[in-house]
């Protein structure tokens, strides 16, 4: 029975590695998509503004300050969400493994 549990644990580690790689690829694609979408929204808004808005130095400062922030926050939120899902899956897997081990010792 212990050998079977060791094989299950090995399979879970392999599955975790595979899912981690898939998560990283998906996360990068999603982050790029979100960053491009936000950039497009900012450019569309900037194109809709009149020329008087751009003559004010405060508006230039506003867009200069917005540039590094615009793609950073959504990307961090996506990264945190993926991390939470991964932690939840790890937690549930470990609970299932502990339940299986406790039943084995009975």
pLDDT in tens, 65-102: 777 666 667 777 877 887 898 899 889 989 998 998 88
CB within 8 Å of 66: residues ≥ 6 apart: 42
pTM over 0.75: no
Q: How far apart are CA 29 and CA 17, in angstroms?
A: 19
Which contacts (CB < 8 Å, 24+ apart) does range 9-15 have?
9/97, 12/93, 12/97
């Amino acid at each position: 029975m212990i050998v079977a549990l060791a094989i299950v644990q090995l399979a879970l580690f392999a599955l975790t590695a595979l899912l981690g790689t898939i998560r990283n690829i998906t996360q990068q694609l999603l982050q790029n998509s979100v960053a491009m979408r936000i950039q497009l929204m900012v450019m569309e808004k900037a194109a809709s503004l009149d020329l008087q808005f751009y003559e004010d130095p405060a508006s230039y400062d506003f867009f200069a300050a917005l540039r590094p922030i615009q793609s950073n926050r959504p990307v961090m939120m996506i990264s945190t969400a993926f991390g939470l899902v991964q932690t939840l899956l790890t937690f549930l897997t470990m609970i299932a493994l502990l339940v299986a081990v406790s039943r084995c010792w009975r």
